[in-house]
Structure 1
């Protein structure tokens, strides 16, 4: 079996931000040569597939500055320091949609961009939503519009690239194969 591991020789921090940190690692490659790796460090995130009683999926529509466009996405957010993914999922569900749930089902986890980032995304689903009378406020720099779509409507938005992010496309594919319930 081939060993593909790269040994870190030196790490140079480049940037420390609110959401990400960046670094450049000098590494020794499996063939003994050296190279540099630009790495984005991220604490991880959670996404939730919220399904209503009438089999509609709740999405949030929001502007994404890095893309300079508005996307339709499932609710999601960053893990806070020491926070369990299930706690993040419930917090983000309430902040972004005004709903909570007592039945949160873990679907899977995946790396979002393993070529340059260590972010892991935990995906959950719920089909037992309860409206919160006074939901937690969203982040002050976050603006979203709620949308409830059928699975077929969501698939159409994927084709039109209004749904154009991996976590949401994965969620739609999951629902198509596993069902809404």
Structure 2
């Protein structure tokens, strides 16, 4: 969730249609404000804009689905991958209809395309955001091992889960880490923020790196979420990555970004 959001806590239920529309609008407004701040010239430290830090880089690519009026002003941005805003038409939101609510929340939005035609689009608004943590404990990494029913297999991934309304990503990351692995991070370093399914979902995944942990208390009580702690040497994880045995996107991205930021050695080294 963007830091500026003040949505009330609704941890045990999904957004209503009206709340969903308001949440996405607020999230977009915050992202636009962050993008404007990211494009400001860096402080007088001699660094170029490309070296201004991970925050400015992370804000250069925003989701393409826009909710709200097509006539809303578009902030100017520099980007290496997007065309100029004037050549980058967006969709206009018209209405939202909730079609399913459980642990997953699916809406059908009616939108107007740049051609003027109307269409419907299914959107996943299940949670405000998710988090995942790559944990280093001495020479080893602490991972999660659990059964994933949709793919019918046990996989190695990262401890994490959904954030609650009114909760900040770092708070959610600390909570999920202790609930699932029974450890408390002594420090959390932001790694990266990405959209796991930008073609269908509005929520982001916030990745963190924990360079050290102390003992905590596991408290996961959902019988469908039995998480095992998997201690693994970094070189062993890297070998599994190279062999294509790691399928979880958060783990793939977290390991790569930890190397890119100098927090861990390069993959395979």
TM-score w.r.t. the length of structure 1 is 0.90
Question: Which residue does 1:138 correspond to in 2?
Answer: 220
Q: How does 1:141-156 map to 2 (within 5 A)?
A: 141=223, 142-156=225-239
How many Å apart are 1:67 and its aligned residue? 1.3
Structure 2 CA distance for aligned equivalents of residues 97 and 180 of structure 1: 21
Q: SS state of the match for residue 177, structure 2?
A: helix
Question: Which residue does 2:128 correspond to in 1?
Answer: 43
Q: Which runs of 5+ in 1 are unaligned?
A: none
Question: Cα gap change, 1:146/1:136 in structure 2, threshold over 3 Å: closer, same or farther?
Answer: closer
Structure 1 CA distance for aligned equivalents of residues 98 and 178 of structure 2: 35
How many Å apart are 1:161 and its aligned residue? 4.3
What is the root-mean-square deviation in Å for CA atoms of aligned residues? 1.7
Q: How does 1:1-181 map to 2 (within 5 A)?
A: 1-18=86-103, 20-41=104-125, 42-54=127-139, 56-132=140-216, 135-141=217-223, 142-177=225-260, 178-180=262-264
Structure in which a larger fraction of residues adopt helix = 2
Q: How many residues align?
A: 177
CA contact (8 A) 2:192 2:257 kept: no
TM-score w.r.t. the length of structure 2 is 0.62
Which one has a bigger Cα radius of gyration?
2
Q: Deviations over 1:154-175 (max 9, x none)?
A: 1222344442011110112123
How many Å apart are 1:3 and its aligned residue? 3.7
Structure in which a larger fraction of residues adopt strand = 1
CA contact (8 A) 1:151 1:176 kept: no
Q: Which runs of 5+ in 2 are unaligned?
A: 1-85
